[in-house]
Amino acid sequence: MKILYLLFAVFLLLFQATSGSADPLYADTVECRSQGKFCRAGACPPTFAATGTCHGGLLHCCSK
């Protein structure tokens, strides 16, 4: 059981460096966020409209 604590610490250190990238990888994502819009999986909220795509067409770019 003591080895589980060691494994947890190793996994925490390994995944800490790779958790979430702040740099968008797709050009359409950069364009959406540079215009003050946001990306969302699925439909945009009721007061927002889908104006494009993000992440290579997988997400919607939502704006007011």
Whether residue 53 contacts residue 30, with contact meaning beta carbons closer than 8 Å, is answered with no
pLDDT in tens, 16-41: 655 455 555 788 888 999 999 999 99
pTM: 0.59
Q: Could you report the per-residue pLDDT of 43-54, keeping only the tens digit for each?
A: 999 999 999 999
What is the model's pLDDT at position 48?
94
Q: List the Cα angle 50/55/59 in 5-degree steps.
A: 35
Q: What residue spans define the domains of the chain? A: 25-63
Residue 56 DSSP SS3: helix
CATH class of 25-63: alpha beta
